[in-house]
Each structure stands twice: as structure tokens, then as C-alpha cells.
Amino acid sequence: MTSTLRRPRRLAAVGAVALTAAVALPAFALERTDDTVDAAATAPADTVVADLVTDTVVAQRDVAVDVYVYVAAEAAAAAEAAELEASLTAIAAMTPEQQFDLSWYAMDDLQRYVTGTYLAEAEAAEQRAAAEAARRAEEARQAEQARQQAARQSSAGAPSVSGGSVWDTIAQCESSGNWSMNSGNGFYGGLQFTQQSWQYVGGTQYAAMPHQASRAQQIAAAERLLARQGWGAWPACSARAGLR
């Protein structure tokens, strides 16, 4: 407030000096005896005083107008700043949705088009990401379910089979009776299944590969292969055992 009043006080001081000069000037003018005084200087004293008073009043009026304009401008600027601060405070207290609505209202048609297009693309991308995440979660769930089922099947015993001693004979011929044999030649287990034959008869319900299954599970799978292909699935060893 102190800085605001400095200029008006200075202007008032200037006006006071001007008024003092105006009062003193007539006496000074009457005492002049210089031969170069023109007609205006020899005018009647009351006329000179009247002109000086008029000029002083006009000057003081101009100063008052300047002071008023200055004070009014300062007051308007302060009111504008207070209004802006209040508006910013009110906007900060709004929810994000309300702030967006306010921004949308202030946009022109082009800005609304660009903003709407961006938001639509962002929403579509978010939906795609959500769908992809849901798909991966479902695949993971199914894989876990399959793993658990395979584990249960692997731990479950194979159905009882008759003629186990016959299969022991075949296994002795095929793998020296080693039910977990994996020699790396493409044949696995005691009965030397190929992976294709193992899958063909559903052996994967017990284990992924033949040599990983138990003796009883391998025999159960061999019974299925025997029913489909006969003893020809083990041509040499079945012939040695006199089975064909």
C-alpha cells in the first residue's frame, strides 16, 4: 500500500510547488523594468494573476486525473489477480472428470476432434491390452490344469494286467529288464516303446515318455499296443518267447 501512495504524494507536492510559483509570479512580473518586456508582460496584473491561477487549476486537475487513473488501474489489477487465484483454487478442488469437462467446454471444434480421437485410440489400446492379458491368463490356467492332471495320472497306478511274467520276458529280451532304460536310440523303457507308439496308445496319461513311467504303466500301454498291432510290435523278442 505504501508503494501505491508514493506517486500520488509526489504529484501533490509538484502541484503545491506550482501553486506557490503561480502566487509569487505576479509580484515578480510587476517589478520587471527590462526594456525587452513584450506586450504580454505589460498586461494588467489582475489578468496575469487570473491566467496563472487558471493554469494552476488546470495543472492540478490533470494531476488529480492522473492519480485517479493510477489508483483505479492498481485496484483493477489487484481485483483481477484475486479473481484469478480464486479460479485456480476452485479448479484444483475439482475432480479430474470435472476438470476435463471444463477443458472440453473451453476447446474449439478442432481441439475437440483431436482430443476425442486420441481418447478413442487410447481406450481401444487399453481394451486390447486387457483382452491380451485375459488370454494369457486363460492359457496359463489351462496349462496349469493340464500339468496337474498329468501329475495325477503319472502318480496313479496302471490298471492290473494279467500275464505280467510274459511282459517281463519281453522286457528281459528288449532291455535286459531295465524299465527306465533310455539308450538314446529312439526306443524307451523296458519294452522299448518309440515315442510315437507311446503317444499312439495314450501312454502320455502316465508320463511324457515311456522310460519315465512305472513298470505297471508300461505294461498297461503295451496291452493296448498288443490289441492294435499284435505281437508284431515286438517281432524278434515275441518270436524268441514263442508267442508267435
- DSSP state letter for 244: -
Residue of higher predicted confidence among 185 and 57: 185
Higher-confidence position of 205 and 154: 205
| Band of residue 65 on the pLDDT scale cut at 50, 70, 90 | confident
pLDDT in tens, 106-157: 899 999 999 999 999 999 999 999 999 999 999 888 888 777 765 655 554 4
- Residue 197 within any structural domain of the chain: yes
pLDDT score of 2 more than 70:
no
Structure confidence at residue 13 (pLDDT)? 43
- Look at residue 231 and tell me if it is in a domain: yes
Distance CA(43)–CA(120), nearest Å, equals 88
pLDDT of residue 188: 96
Residue 236 sits in a domain of what CATH number?
1.10.530.10
Name the least confident of 60-69, 116-125, 161-170, 173-182. 161-170
Mean pLDDT calculated for residue range 22-48: 49
- The answer to whether position 131 is within a domain reads no
User: How much is the pLDDT for 57?
Assistant: 74
Segment 14-40 shows an average pLDDT of 44
41 inside domain: yes
Does 72 fall in a domain? yes
Which residues, at least 6 apart from 115, have a Cβ–Cβ distance to it below 8 Å? 104, 107
Pick the last residue of a domain from 51, 70, 95: 95
Find all residues with CB under 8 Å of 69, minimum gap 6, and list them. Answer: none
% of the chain with per-residue pLDDT over 90: 43
| Residues counted in the chain | 244
CA distance linking residue 109 with residue 92, whole number of Å: 25
Closest by CA to 16, choosing from 63, 49, 82, 54, is 63
Q: Report yes or no on 80 lying in a domain.
A: yes
pLDDT surpassing 70 at residue 198: yes
Confidence category of residue 102, pLDDT binned at 50, 70, 90: confident
Which domain does 218 fall in, by range? Answer: 164-240
Alpha-carbon gap, residue 225 to 232, rounded angstroms? 10
* Residue, of 107 and 33, whose pLDDT is higher: 107
- For residue 33, tell me if it sits in a domain: yes
- What pLDDT, on a 0 to 100 scale, did the predictor assign at position 66? 81
CA 93, 94, 96: angle at the middle one, nearest 5? 130
Model pLDDT, residue 45 = 65
Number of domains the chain is built from: 2
Q: Is the pLDDT of residue 197 over 70?
A: yes
Answer with the residue of higher pLDDT: 65 or 128.
128
What's residue 46's pLDDT?
65
Looking from the CA of 170 toward its CB, the CA atoms found within 13 Å total 27
> Which has more confidence, 193 or 145?
193
The pLDDT, as a whole number, for residue 177 is 92
Among 66, 95, 124, where does a domain finish?
95
> Pick from 242, 232, 227: which is nearest to 166 by CA?
242
**Nearest 5°: phi and psi at 193?**
-70, 145
C-alpha cell at 236: 524278434
Please check whether residue 173 is in contact with residue 240, taking contact to mean a CB–CB distance below 8 angstroms.
yes
**Per the domain annotation, does 110 fall within a domain?**
no
The predicted structure's pLDDT at residue 136: 92
The count of other CB atoms within 10 Å of the CB of residue 84 is 10
Q: Which three cell numbers stand for residue 73?
A: 488501474
Last residue of a domain, one of 49, 69, 95: 95
